[in-house]
Amino acid sequence: MAQIDTELARLDTVGLAQLIRSGGISAVEAVQATIDRIEAMDDEINAVIHRRFDQALAEAAQPLKDAPFAGVPFLLKDLWPTSAGDPFHIGNKAMKAANYIHPTDAHIVQRYREAGFIILGRTNTPELGLVATTEPEAYGATHNPWNTAHGPGGSSGGAAAAVASGMVAAANASDGGGSIRIPAAMCGLIGLKPSRGRVPMGPLQDEWGLSVQHVVCHTMRDCASILDVSAIPTLGDGVVAPTTGQPYADQLTQRPTGLRIGVWNESPRDNIVLDPEVQAVVAGTANLLGRLGHSVSASHPAMLDNREISDSFSAMWTAGARSSLNKIEAWVGRELTPDDVEIATWWMAEAGSAYSGVDVLAAQGAMHDFRRGVATWYEDGWDLLVTPTCCDPAPLLGELTSTPDEPLRASINSIPYAAFTSSFNVTGQPAISLPMGYSESGLPIGVQIVAAYGREDLLIQVGSQLEAEVNWADNRAPMHP
């Protein structure tokens, strides 16, 4: 086994890019060191399911382009960001059995390549990204580097585990109901869900949907700087978010005061228990924001108490599952059977098939009303909302999976982890999970901060303020080199 350079493993992507540019290390050496870490650790974690190591080394050996992240190793989530010539299986058994290879780069992958990132492989994801754990039947469970008996969250669990373990400094992730923020919270990372239309989603998805792409990472400068190279629209984008605060790296040194911040630190549903340890970390974060000069008080948009929106979200979520299975049938060239997908996915797709086009339009209309209702709270003078990211720390592996006797178990048991996150996929607002504390057992706890639509700049400013106080990047998972 190759010796792991622990100092190199602790650099963020900005720092590694600077080291490569200065000649302190070559791109080939950086890529090889990353390969060595993956090979040393991933048998226990199971985060990187597709590996393109030979291609990555060959790309690193080419003359480096003049780009901000030239030569920096990177991983893609094996969901919607396709990479030309690489496997694309979205956690599905039929796609794996067919060894489906996608022919083109997604638009976001084009942006990553233009920025100089070198793609080493693709990370594990639950089937179609539908639940809050990464335990697909196709590729097996991903383990949390903080405690391998626990899961890393979902659906970007493979990405979060790879970053939290130190395999890479940052990795692509996506978020349709909390799938960046939930794994970030469970793995002690930063997870920003950008505004709807901030980054291109084509060609397999549209910007007007629930999902958006970005990364999980350790530092705010990575979060901001990678967003700068990603937030470049294409001519076909259906939504383009306003450019307030760009370039985002310029926001890292801003220290705002007097922001009006609401705190929602109670369970959002009567049937969900908010873990007291999570509640305590959120309260501590609110107190810290007050000490930093902000006006902090208990408040949240009244529209977030609207329980009916969950029905509209479910309609769109399950209809989306059916649509995804239709795409898989086109890719593998045959009709799918229940044996080709997990029982929870099949149930969701069947439920989605029961909705008519009029039903889906009605759900979209309810979501539009919800979005406008939440926006009025910000229009009334509030700048940010602070909430828990998840109601509980990371669950044990197996707690969020389905069985033939309980086909809905994965979906139902995922609800407490997405109860605070999914609303902002409906509204399209930017929301960030920050690693603000730990449970008594040593599991990370994330705190979510939500800004008005298009205001990632405020999240980056305040995130940088908190980072300077907490220094979370100094505290790494036990498995991290």
Annotated catalytic residue: which of 156, 165, 174, 179? 179
Which residues, other chains included, contact 449 with Cβ-Cβ below 8 Å and sequence gap of 6+?
384, 385, 386, 431, 432, 434, 459, 462, 463
Give the start-end residues of each E strand in 37-79: 48-51, 73-77
Give the orientation angle of helix 13-21 with respect to helix 220-230, to 10 degrees: 70
Backbone torsions φ then ψ of 187, nearest 5 degrees: -115, 10
Of 121, 122, 187, nearest in space to 154 by CA: 187
In order of 4, 65, 219, 312, 425, the CA distances from 189 in angstroms are 22, 29, 8, 30, 20
Which residues, other chains included, contact 326 with Cβ-Cβ below 8 Å and sequence gap of 6+?
none
Annotated catalytic residue: which of 77, 230, 312, 402? 77
Which token pair is 443?
């599991």
Are the C-beta atoms of 127 and 11 separated by less than 8 Å? no
Q: For this structure, is 77 an active site residue?
A: yes
Residue written as tokens 């639509």?
A: 453
CA 204 to chain centre: 18
Are the C-beta atoms of 212 and 424 separated by less than 8 Å? no
DSSP label at residue 129: G
Q: For this structure, is 179 an active site residue?
A: yes
From CA 76, how far away is CA 399, in angstroms rounded? 26
Annotated catalytic residue: which of 83, 155, 225, 402? 155
From CA 256, how far away is CA 294, in angstroms rounded? 8
- Please report, as a single letter, which amino acid is at residue 466: L
Q: For this structure, is 155 an active site residue?
A: yes
Active-site positions read: 77, 155, 179
